[in-house]
Structure 1
Amino acid sequence: MSGDCVALKSLALSDISLVSHLSFLREMKFYEAVRYRHARVTG
């Protein structure tokens, strides 16, 4: 029973880290797009 609990906990942790990683990538893409657009407008 304790093994299942540990497995569930580690699974939830990996899920959370994956979601945060994806949101981080999305923010980076958005930032890059904004910077590229800004550079194109000013340059």
Structure 2
Amino acid sequence: KGKEILVESDTPKKKKLQEQIDAQMARELEEQQEREDLRMNE
């Protein structure tokens, strides 16, 4: 039973970290898309 509690308290941290990574990836993808759009417009 001790392990279950450990896993539960560990999950929110991992989820938050994953959300931060997803947000960063999304930002980078958007920036990349904008650069490609600018290149096409030239």
Cα distance in 1, alignment partners of residues 21 and 35 from structure 2: 21
Q: Identity of aligned pairs, percent?
A: 10
TM value normalised by structure 1: 0.69
Indicate the residue corresponding to 1:30 in structure 2.
29
Deviation at 1:40, TM superposition (A): 1.3
- Measure how far apart 1:9 and its partner are: 3.6
Moved over 2 A (4+): 7-10
Measure the CA separation in 2 of the matches of 1:29 and 1:10. Answer: 30
Cα deviation for residue 41 of structure 1 reads 1.2
Q: Report the TM-score when normalising by structure 2.
A: 0.70
Which structure 2 residue ranges, 5 or more long, are not aligned? none
Q: Between Structure 1 and Structure 2, how many residues are aligned?
A: 41
RMSD: 2.0
Query: Cα distance, 1:19 vs. partner?
Result: 0.4
